Amino acid sequence: MMKLVFALFAGVIFGLGLTISQMTNPDKVLSFLDIAGNWDPSLALVMVGALAVAVAGFRWTRQHEKPVFGSRFHITLKTTLDKPLLAGAGLFGIGWGMTGYCPGPAFASLALGNQEAVIMVTSIYAGFWAAGLLQEKY
Amino acid sequence: MQNFTPVSALLGGALIGLSAFILLRFNGRIAGISSIMNGLFTTSGPNRYWRMTFLLGLMLGATIWQWSVPTSLPLRQNYPLPLIIAGGFLVGFGTRIGSGCTSGHGICGLALLSRRSIAATLTFMASGILTVYLIRHVLQVLS
């Protein structure tokens, strides 16, 4: 039960962060990626702000053996740079540049009444499904 | 640089970092949205419920801000749908194959100094920048 409360709480804060920083405005995201045009560096600062808090918070968190609720930290220990990682990240970047949405802002935008967000999220799930099929096969 | 909004960017970013911290410290989970979204339909029981709750919260947070400052979120109109459909597919496909997105790799992974996340973040930033360059400055499809 407490896990659900904190998941909800974390979700609300994440949603506030995305909208306050305007990550949910795809035009702003695209002008961040448009370094040759009228560049808007704001979103680099979103990352700076997020990392400043996360680095400190994670460091303190990892001094504990387990989370407050739950038996362990679900963190992948993989360190190898393999082809799926780099190819997947490359394809994701292309989709991000085509749309201005990454998954978080796309999902949060479902609540903002923008029709294109519905199509975006549906297409993301189609991509998940296709990747799942591929991963099952290989 | 007329549209530079450093204060709201830093503040919003700090909230995203705070959310990632809360989810890890209390629930032991990484705030990677692509993985949480995918898990919504591939997991069951408690593993599914917390993802559902988090994503509900994500929409709730966005709604709260839209209510508080109604003029703050201009909605994009008339963006070409084929770009959204193909781009959305690539976002979903790429984040699954590449094990994460902007939040999982770009924030949580970087904060953990994961080699894989550093490589993934550099890669999707580079391909995102290149894609926008091609669309706007080479093909000149959109302004």
Q: Over the stretch A4-13, which tens digit does the pLDDT of each residue have?
A: 999 999 999 9
- Residue B99 forms part of a structural domain: yes
Which of A 35-54 lie inside 8 A of B, CB atoms?
Answer: 35-54
Q: A44-69 burial, b for 16+ CB within 10 Å, e for fewer?
A: ebbbebbbebbbebbeebeeeeebeb
Facing A103 at nearest CB: one of B16, B91, B125: B91
Facing B90 at nearest CB: one of A52, A61, A92: A92
- In chain B, residues with a C-beta closer than 8 Å to the C-beta of A116 are 76, 79, 81, 84
Contacting residues of B for A21, CB less than 8 Å apart: 8-9, 11-13, 15-16
Write the ipTM.
Answer: 0.96
Closest approach of A41 to chain B, Cα-based (Å): 6
pLDDT tens digits for range A27-59: 999 999 999 999 999 999 999 999 999 999 999
Q: Does B127 fall in a domain?
A: yes
Q: Write out residues in chain B with pLDDT < 50, as ranges.
A: none
Asked if A127 contacts B93 with a C-beta cutoff of 8 angstroms, the reply is: yes
Q: Which sign does the torsion angle of CA B38, B40, B44, B46 carry?
A: positive
Alpha carbon of B73: minimum distance to chain A alpha carbons (Å): 7
CA A69 to chain CA centroid, nearest Å = 23
- How many residues does this entry show for chain A? 138
Q: Based on the structure, what is the number of domains in chain B? A: 1
Residues of chain B numbered 64-93 and touching chain A (CB < 8 Å)? 64-66, 72-76, 79, 81, 83-93
Report the chain A residue with the minimal C-alpha distance to residue B122: A89
CA distance A104 to A11: 10
Specify if B49 maps to a domain.
no
Residue B11 lies in a domain: no
- Give the pLDDT confidence score for residue B77 in this predicted structure: 82
B2 to chain A, any CB pair closer than 8 A? The answer is yes
Supply the range of the domain harboring residue B117. 79-143
pLDDT score of B2:
61
Q: Is residue B103 part of a domain?
A: yes
Q: Which of A59, A94, A122 to mutate to test the interface with B (most CBs of B within 10 A)?
A: A94
Bigger pLDDT: A70 vs A120 = A120
Q: Tell me the per-residue pLDDT of A88-128, one tens digit each, with 9 for 90 and over.
A: 999 999 999 999 999 999 999 999 988 999 999 999 999 99
- Measured between CB atoms, which of B83, B88, B128 is closest to A33? B128
Cβ atoms of B20 and B111 closer than 8 Å: yes
